[in-house]
Copies of this chain bind each other. A is one copy, B any other.
Amino acid sequence: MGLIVQKFGGSSVADAHRVKNVARIVTDTYAKGNDVIVVVSAQGDTTDDLIEKAAEISKKPSAREMDMLLCSGEQISIALLAMAIKELGFPAISLLGWQAGFNTSSSYNKARIKKINTERLKEELSKNNIVVVAGFQGINKYDDLTTLGRGGSDTSAVAIAAAMRADRCQIFTDVEGVFTADPRKVKDALKLKEITYDEMLELATLGAQVLNNRSVEMAKKYNVELEVLSSLTNVPGTIVKEVANMEKMLVRGVTKDTDVARVSILNVPDTPGVAFRIFDKLAAKNVNVDIILQSIGRDGTKDITFTTTCDNCDTVKEIIENSEYEDAKVEINTDVAKISVVGAGMETHPGTAAKMFEALYENDINIQMISTSEIKISVLIDKEYADKAVTAVHRAFFPVK
């Protein structure tokens, strides 16, 4: 008995059969006495099809018109879902982003939510309607449509849950929850009952593509209790909240990220300020840098190595080659993978790193770089051994009984 926000992604509403399935989940929740707001994405490949249509017209389509185009995708899915809910005999109404009160910044394609005017949402709930809201979209101060960028529908759902003080925000996906490793790759992977926002953030960043980072950050900020669960099976998922029941579990998960490049800048002068100047230039071009390693200076020069995502490689090369360090040489290696263990418990358990390194050593996997934070340990290894590494490290922390 309360207000539940439920979010369904594009694959969950890909065709009539799946839309009807979602309608059943939603109406089951409503029939139990809850108020329900449903946030949906565009059906299946709709967004990609629309992007393709734009590409046929223009190589660099106007950002405003792109948002106008893409917003039609969720419009279709909310109308169909509202029809399907009514078909089951329940009251429903669909609302576009602007009708649901999503006021955003003016920047097209990646707008930020500024405010949700909840008047219409409350009015429809007071009429006992199940409210179906178009995710991913809003309206700016010019009365023009905007989209929130990648993972925008998750953000829409969490934002509504925060603005409406919902009791829970359920994110339905095609997996049953958050696992200790990718269940498609590691057969012993365990589903977590609970996880903290911070752990979820580390897992999201590290490539466990369950929840969009921005939505987890927002959930943390407004203390929205999230649940990640499957739209295909009727079992409890994983709860994401501020303090999770630790269950004596040191580590929450083992992840793999292969969208990573190791960049080495060789032969830069071994003088103060060099690292600052290089990373300042990189930051100015929005190059996010992860693990950083600096060699001990020798013969007046040193090497700086760091990791970044693959799409930044060209920018990095250009920046360094046009810098004041004429002797500097850039080496880029994309045949690497980052393996991480994440868990809020590890900061009080010094043995975690050692256990991870041991598992890798026993499998003859060489560690190229290491990075640690309070709740994670990441290592860079040869991409070839990525899956083997995940399995080995996972088994070290989650022994098969």
A interface vs B, CB < 8 Å?
15-16, 19-20, 50, 53-54, 56-58, 61-62, 64-66, 68-69, 71-73, 75-76, 78-80, 82-84, 86-87, 93-94, 96, 99, 120, 143-145
Contact = CB atoms under 8 A, between A and B. Distances in A.
Given A16-B57, A56-B16, A143-B99, A94 B65 contact: yes
Contacts of A94: 65, 68
Given A53-B80, A69-B79, 5 more contacts: A50-B76, A58-B87, A65-B94, A68-B75, A72-B73
A79 B68 contact: yes
A84 B69 CA distance: 13
A87 B57 contact: yes
Nearest to A49: B76
Nearest to A16: B56
A57 B75 contact: no
Q: A-B pairs with the 7 shortest C-beta distances?
A: A69-B79, A16-B56, A72-B72, A68-B79, A72-B75, A58-B87, A61-B83
Given A87-B58, A120-B143, A71 B75 contact: yes
Contact of A86 (B16, B65, B86): B65
Given A16-B53, A16-B56, A56-B16, A66 B79 contact: yes
Q: How many copies does the complex hold?
A: 2
A141 B23 CA distance: 28
Contacts of A82: 62, 65, 68
A83 B67 CA distance: 11
Contacts of A87: 57-58
A69 B76 contact: yes
A107 to B, nearest CB: 17
Contacts of A79: 54, 65-66, 68-69, 72
Nearest to A60: B87
Contacts of A15: 56
A86 B56 CA distance: 14
Contacts of A56: 15-16
Nearest to A70: B79
A62 B87 CA distance: 9
